[in-house]
């Protein structure tokens, strides 16, 4: 399966959870909640913080989208996540970590590096906006 095809995968089942495909909105939610696992600097996390971030990711990806959006907008996401922890089985954590690693690899492979230009680009040049 190519990287492009993997982003079109449907929902993924992890234990008793059904996770939506990872999206730009997912990444925005991770940023809003400070989930460093998804922001490129989650190397020095304690076991407790790692678990919190994995559970938060699972909530973002499996809770009804309208609930996630409303909770992020209203600043109540951490309350939802605290309740959601009781739905995640301990055995699901490793499977969730594997899914996070898979997403991280795909996201990294699909990343686009931008180059800053010193001059004003020519609007007639292909690929420029």
List per-residue pLDDT tens for the chain, 129 residues long. 444 444 556 678 888 889 998 888 998 999 999 998 877 666 788 989 989 999 999 999 999 999 999 999 999 999 999 999 999 998 888 889 888 888 777 765 555 555 555 656 666 666 655
Q: Cβ of 47: how many Cβ atoms within 10 Å? A: 7
Residue burial 20-39, b: 16+ Cβ < 10 Å; e: rest: bebeeebbebbeebebbbbe
Domain boundaries, the chain: 3-107
d(CA 129, CA 123): 6
Which two tokens mark 80?
């939802």
Q: Cβ of 87: how many Cβ atoms within 10 Å? A: 15
Say which residue the tokens 């095809």 belong to.
5
Determine the length of the chain. 129
């Amino acid at each position: 399966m190519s990287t492009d095809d993997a982003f079109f995968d449907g929902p993924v089942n992890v234990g008793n959870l059904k996770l939506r495909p990872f999206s730009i909105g997912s990444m925005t939610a991770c940023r809003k909640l400070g989930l460093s696992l998804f922001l490129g600097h989650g190397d020095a996390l304690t076991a407790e913080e790692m678990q919190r971030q994995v559970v938060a990711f699972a909530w973002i990806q499996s809770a009804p989208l309208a609930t996630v959006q409303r909770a992020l907008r209203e600043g109540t996401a951490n309350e939802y996540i605290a309740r959601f922890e009781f739905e995640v089985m301990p055995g699901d954590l490793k499977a969730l970590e594997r899914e996070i690693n898979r997403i991280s690899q795909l996201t990294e492979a699909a990343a686009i590096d931008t180059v800053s230009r010193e001059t004003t680009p020519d609007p007639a040049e292909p690929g420029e906006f």
